[in-house]
Amino acid sequence: MTLKWSIPELLEHQKGGFSFDATVTVDELKKRDAEIRKVTPVRVTGRADVDRNAVTFFLTVTGRMTLPCALTLVDVDYPFRIETTEIFRFGGHSAPEAEGEENVHHVEGQTVDLLPAVEEAILVEKPMRVVSEEAKNRTDLNGPGWQLINAPERKPSIDPRFEKLKEWFNE
């Protein structure tokens, strides 16, 4: 099953809407974000409510992607589950309350394609960094001129340039 419908096809479901369950490939994500090393086929489930001016999709997107560890650059398997609502407006109709909403898309032509919205939702929810379990447990993370310090081990230090100012406030 694809995530693409024509507007007349959608309008047939105005009374009760419809549900769907599809597995799609989103390999385009690897081109759009260089940190994504691999992404499995993604399962998209949800329902669509259709009226004469728009279709609203209530989606659950699940899958797995491989990202680099922020400390060691080894592959980290990152499972994701995203719930989102996407609204597609037909033929230039726009409701005032929908203006400025992020998840409102205006349909150009006669086809609603949900795949770009799914890809965008995955990119938005991708974490900025992941750390592998192996890296979390390692204590020997250091190199020339640097050493990884965990927050509890950090000692408060005063910048030597401000050390003399400390004397002024102790009087």
Comparing CA positions, the residue from 88, 89, 94 lying closest to residue 118 is 88
> What are the pLDDT digits (tens) for 67-109?
999 888 899 999 999 999 999 998 755 554 545 566 788 888 8
65 falls in which pLDDT band (50, 70, 90)?
very high
39: enclosing H helix or E strand: strand 38-39
Q: Compute the distance between CA of residue 116 and CA of residue 104 in angstroms, rounded to an integer.
A: 13
Query: Where do the domains of the chain lie?
Result: 4-139
Take residue 79 and report the two structure tokens written for it. 């499972």
> 28-58, pLDDT tens digit by residue?
999 999 999 999 999 999 999 999 889 999 9
Looking at residue 98, its pLDDT comes to 47
Residue 118's pLDDT is 93
Of 84, 64, 83, 76, the C-alpha closest to 23 is: 64
Amino acid letter, 72: T
Task: Provide the pLDDT for residue 45.
Answer: 96
CA distance 69 to 131: 5
**Prediction pTM value:** 0.74
Q: Is the pLDDT of residue 133 over 50?
A: yes
- 103-131 pLDDT, tens digit each: 788 888 888 999 999 999 999 999 999 98
